[in-house]
Amino acid sequence: MPQLSARTATPSRKRPVNLTLSEDLVADLKGYTNNLSATAEVLLSAYLAEQQRAHVLRREQAALAIHAWNNLHDETGSFADGHSTL
């Protein structure tokens, strides 16, 4: 059965990658999952989704700050407006 990508909900090809994990961690994980690859994929997909949400939030906050700064500049002008460059 093909795996569904959490991001696209369409079948996604698998490809092998090399990860380096401590032996103790792998031994402990075997007590909780019999499919470390699937578990890692679920956790990494959740991590990616959280990082993408955080990125969007930072962009939205930056856009709000820019908008507020531009409004302030429009209302009060620039500090440099009152000073000559000469």
- Please indicate, yes or no, if residue 39 is contained in any of the structural domains: yes
What is the token pair recorded at 40? 């890692």
Q: Which domain holds residue 28?
A: 23-76
Q: Binning pLDDT at 50, 70 and 90, where does residue 1 land? A: very low
- Please indicate, yes or no, if residue 85 is contained in any of the structural domains: no
Interval 28-62: pLDDT, tens: 999 999 999 999 999 999 999 999 999 999 999 99
User: Torsion-angle region of residue 9: left (phi > 0), alpha (psi -120 to 50) or beta?
Assistant: left
Q: Binning pLDDT at 50, 70 and 90, where does residue 7 land? A: low
- Please indicate, yes or no, if residue 4 is contained in any of the structural domains: no
Count how many domains the chain has. 1
What is the token pair recorded at 63? 């856009």
User: Dihedrals φ, ψ of 85, to 5°?
Assistant: -85, -5
Interval 54-83: pLDDT, tens: 999 999 999 999 999 999 989 888 877 777
- The pLDDT of residue 9 is above 70: no
